[in-house]
Structure 1
């Protein structure tokens, strides 16, 4: 077994506990990137697209806000709710900057 993964005892359908390989999200993404198979290619392309979008958001934070608004809209939230949510995030961010150590 690779040091890449951890192992946890998990209950199987027969009721017994067996050591099972586990990984966090970052480890899974790294595993996908290392698979030399055409079947892994769609996942690799998706990871590259997500990384590109994230880098664009770092360069232009407004894109991140737009993405968040689209996400909430797809989940069925109203424009009023979305705007209130964004305002509450901004207020929380501002109030955190007031914290004095």
Structure 2
């Protein structure tokens, strides 16, 4: 799945160079904010543009800048420097705040996704069909898709039972999920997911 996310990031930025880091612990990509701003704004001074944008967002009460972290990323001169980074959700929030023709297709795509998501809330069968279509597009056969959808349904029933039993904490879910993965695969959930992604 993280390969799919990387492909999406590259597609959004028309394969421009965007520095990214995969955090295995948090299972998230972190993306260079300056690189995002540079591509979307086409500014000659993306650091200055980001600094001004960050101040503007703070003044408007926008929380985006509070969710920005820093990691050492390789610069053009080959040296590693602390660089503002964000996750994918914050990346989209930053893009939405940049007035640029380059941001428009992304904003339209996000609006379309939002509309589709609202439709799915009112008619969950749309989400189920979307999942089937995605699995088919990835080349999975009908038997595998049926098993996967059944697995999702079974997992939902199981987590409902856990909730009814008073288990609501993410850590408790993680422990129980790990036990299930160990039982059927001999691996933790994290290791099993990594192995599945390699297939």
Tell me the TM-score normalized by structure 1. Answer: 0.86
Bigger relative contact order, structure 1 or 2 (CA pairs below 8 A, ≥6 apart): 2
Structure 1 range deviating more: 32-41 or 73-82: 32-41
Structure 1 range deviating more: 20-29 or 5-14: 5-14
1:53 matched to which residue of 2? Answer: 116
**Structure 1 residue 82 displacement after superposition:** 0.4
> Structure 2: any 5+ residue segments left out of the alignment?
1-50, 55-63, 167-199
> Structure 1: any 5+ residue segments left out of the alignment?
none
Give distance in 1, aligned partners of 2:130 and 2:141: 15
User: 160, 168, 172: which is aligned to 1:97?
Assistant: 160
Structure 1 range deviating more: 10-19 or 22-31: 10-19
SS, match of residue 38 in structure 1? coil
SS, match of residue 39 in structure 1? coil
**Structure 1 residue 27 displacement after superposition:** 1.4
Structure 1 range deviating more: 76-85 or 22-31: 22-31
Give distance in 1, aligned partners of 2:73 and 2:140: 38
- Does residue 81 (structure 1) correspond to residue 144 (structure 2)? The answer is yes
**Structure 1 residue 6 displacement after superposition:** 2.3
